[in-house]
Amino acid sequence: MAGSRRLEKDLFGTLPDGRDVERIVLCGEGGFEARIITHGAVLQALIAPDAKGSCDDIVLGHDAFAGYLAERKFFGATVGRYANRIAGGRFSLDGETVQLPVNNGPNALHGGLDGFDRKLWDIAELHGGAEPGVTLSYVSPHGEENYPGRLDVRLTYRVTGQAELSLTMEARTDRPTIVNLTNHSFFNLEGATSGRSILDHRLMVAAAHFLAIDPTAIPLSEPPRAIAGTPFDFREARPVGERIRESDQQLRNGKGYDHTYCLAGDGKLHLAARLEAPISGRIMELLTDQPGLQVYSGNYLDGTISGKGGKLYRQSDAICLEPHIWPDAPNRPDFPSPRLDPGEAYRHHTVYRFAARRP
């Protein structure tokens, strides 16, 4: 099947200022494909075979560029400079207070008002051969969204196995700053247009602790909380919806699952989560070197967005598994540090590995 591995490129849309938005298609084996667009470095589609060999797109989003331009919902987007939330949009760095725009109640979320998900990235390299891939780049100037320092970012999507997508990110700065990047794909392993909920997907998360949050989704002033005996315990695989309706204050605060799990990978690539769909038999394993995994059960999908195939996206139509540094870490010296200094490199590696078995 080596001949099926290839790379294709076409025009996906045009920005209002006339700049082209390109799409790069990375083809693996057995129908496996990853489709990336340069606007937001978005994973626009991910095609994976089921247990019968039938292929389907398993990430939410839009069929045409107009949908991504019309509303900011982070479908498949690269999120930065800082993924997740910073309390009050404020932090101190070397004695200086930095005030970011707030765009999520009182807090800054996913890079602010105009984050990396709204930028047009450049195609830096195209990689052919047995592991087709694309490297995208973006330069965030000093002061963008009030973040200090110029940040040079490169990320590479690459098909690295029979049905495996590898994502690597790297960033460098010219002055002290903070950085925390992630991919924000919404997964439904039954298919993006299946109309099925993800509440019966079986989830495993390799973590014994999570970050309890306040009603604005900022971590509480306490150490990571043990998951044992709580609805947050996914150390053994179980359906996402099995305990999501329980009367638990943390589920109330998140409107479901919208919490960071504390991983113990010591900065090395390791299995962080496993997701399995009961009907299609599709399995996704997520490996990462990041210290946290945000598990979000699609709580704010409210039926107002029309997505692929004209489907209205509703609550729990997808699940996000977002590897990154912990939220509000710039204000929490007890959390993993998001600081980046000149001469250093921020690095992030995540792998999405797919298989299937008959239910």
Pairing between β-strand 282-288 and β-strand 209-210 as defined by DSSP bridges: unpaired
pLDDT tens digits for 306-329?
999 999 999 999 999 999 999 999
What is the pLDDT confidence band of residue 225, given thresholds at 50, 70 and 90?
A: very high
User: In this model, does residue 20 exceed pLDDT 90?
Assistant: yes
Closest CA to 256 of 217, 286, 223: 217
What is the pLDDT confidence band of residue 4, given thresholds at 50, 70 and 90?
A: confident
Evaluate the CA torsion angle 230, 234, 238, 243 in order and state its sign. Answer: positive
Domain residue spans in the chain? Answer: 2-356
Work out the average pLDDT over 69-82: 96
Task: Identify the burial level of 212 via C-beta atoms within 10 angstroms of its C-beta, where 0-12 means exposed, 13-18 middle and 19 or more buried.
Answer: buried
Closest CA to 264 of 205, 306, 345: 205
Active site residue 348: no
pLDDT tens digits for 156-189?
999 998 899 999 999 999 999 999 999 999 999 9
3-class SS at 253?
A: helix
Which pLDDT belongs to residue 1? Answer: 38
CA distance 121 to 101: 22
Which pLDDT belongs to residue 134? Answer: 98
User: In this model, does residue 3 exceed pLDDT 80?
Assistant: no
Closest CA to 168 of 352, 355, 359: 352
What is the pLDDT confidence band of residue 63, given thresholds at 50, 70 and 90?
A: very high
Q: Find out whether 321 and 288 touch, Cβ atoms under 8 Å.
A: no
User: In this model, does residue 208 exceed pLDDT 50?
Assistant: yes
Which pLDDT belongs to residue 151? Answer: 98
pLDDT tens digits for 107-164?
999 999 999 999 999 999 999 999 999 999 999 999 999 999 999 999 999 999 889 9
Active site residue 209: no
Which pLDDT belongs to residue 250? Answer: 98
CA distances for 31 relative to 34, 147, 163, 172, angstroms = 10, 41, 9, 36
Options 110, 164, 322, 324, the catalytic residue: 322
pLDDT tens digits for 294-305?
999 999 999 999
Closest CA to 186 of 199, 194, 200, 198: 198
Which pLDDT belongs to residue 2? Answer: 44
CA distance 185 to 168: 15
CATH 3.40.50.300 is the classification of domain 2-356: no
- 76 alpha carbon, distance to own chain's centre: 7
Which pLDDT belongs to residue 162? Answer: 87
Which pLDDT belongs to residue 260? Answer: 98
CA distance 227 to 97: 34
Residue 122 phi, psi dihedral angles, 5° rounding: -90, 145
pLDDT tens digits for 190-205?
999 999 999 999 999 9
Options 62, 184, 201, 349, the catalytic residue: 184
User: In this model, does residue 229 exceed pLDDT 50?
Assistant: yes
